[in-house]
Amino acid sequence: MDEFSTLTNVIKLFEEKGCPNKNSIYLALLKDTRKASGMVSGMDYPYSGLLLNISEEGIGYYYLKQAKFSLTINLEKLIVDKDNYNFIPKENIKSIEVKKFALLDKKRKSLIIKTTDKKTHYLYGKVNEPLIQYNDENMEKLISRYEKK
């Protein structure tokens, strides 16, 4: 988790790949296993979470993977898979939507990213994440930009 625990480290990771950082939102979000589970999903979405850079040009992301096998996803035990960096250009993004994670859960939000190649990334994150200080401000930006009112 040290690789993405500070905003400085995250910016450095994305700069190494030439990912745009103007007007970006940096987030570490976990895969919503309620929506994306099973063997097929594990092959299509081989990650436990994503470290996202959402900018005006598109979405750059790294896979976050568990350091060791576990049945539950634990943010503290995730590592950045530096060999799996991807960028989705703006024109290949069909939609980005932020929703309530659960009816009575105000602490978490779902993020659904649909692309033109018919893939859908189901993610979620805490509104106030104590382990990653930069996520709080960036989650608020994400909510204000993509949540339907």
Q: Which amino acid is at 55?
A: S
Structure confidence at residue 137 (pLDDT): 87
Structure confidence at residue 37 (pLDDT): 53
Residue with tokens 């990213």: 113
Structure confidence at residue 39 (pLDDT): 46
Phi-psi region of 89 (alpha: psi -120 to 50; beta: other; left: phi over 0): beta
Structure confidence at residue 80 (pLDDT): 92
Structure confidence at residue 130 (pLDDT): 81
Cβ(145)–Cβ(137) below 8 Å: no
Describe the strand order of the beta sheet including 58-66 as a list of residue ranges.
Answer: 78-89, 58-66, 49-55, 25-31, 120-126, 105-115, 93-102
The domain limits of the chain are 2-146
State the DSSP string of 19-84.
Answer: ---TT-EEEEEEE-TTTS-SHHHHHHS--SEEEEEEETTEEEEEEEEESS--SS--GGGEEEEEEE
Structure confidence at residue 34 (pLDDT): 72
Cβ(111)–Cβ(97) below 8 Å: yes
pLDDT tens by residue, the chain, 149 residues: 778 888 899 989 999 998 877 778 888 888 887 765 554 554 567 888 899 999 889 999 999 998 777 667 778 888 999 998 999 999 999 999 998 888 888 888 889 999 999 888 889 888 888 888 888 888 888 888 888 76
Structure confidence at residue 61 (pLDDT): 93
pTM (two decimals) = 0.85
Return the percent helix, strand and coil in the chain, to nearest 5: 25, 45, 30
Contacts of 6 (CB under 8 A, 6+ apart): 133, 134
CATH of domain 2-146: 2.30.29.30
